[in-house]
Amino acid sequence: MHASVKPEEVLFLPRASHPQRANGTVVQGSNDGQSWTGVTKAVGGATANNWNDQTASGADHYRYLRIYNATSWFGDLAEVELYGDTKSNP
């Protein structure tokens, strides 16, 4: 049995020492691990010690989620929180 998730809200907390590096970060979803769909808008204007709250778009459930940033990025997030709906797939 597999599970899938439909993100509804994603919160990003940038690293306090380099908050600007979080800009451009998005969450993407996929059901095959090959083609990816944008689920959130890109983080912009990130500041230290402030959460960036993104409402997820779409009504699809995804088997895989990834945090992605196409810029020169080194995973500079202190924390990510994902909220949404899950379902079991036989």
pLDDT in tens, 2-61: 889 999 999 999 999 999 999 999 999 999 999 999 999 999 999 999 999 999 998 899
User: What are 28's strand-pairing partners?
Assistant: 38, 66
Task: Kindly provide the residue ranges of all beta strands, DSSP E only, lying in 1-90, ordered along the sequence.
Answer: 2-14, 26-30, 37-38, 52-55, 64-68, 77-89
Of 56, 11, 10, the closest CA to residue 37 belongs to 56
Task: Round the CA-based radius of gyration of the chain to a whole number and report it.
Answer: 13
pLDDT in tens, 65-84: 999 999 877 778 999 999 99
Q: What is the pTM of this model?
A: 0.90
Tell me the CATH class for 2-89: mainly beta
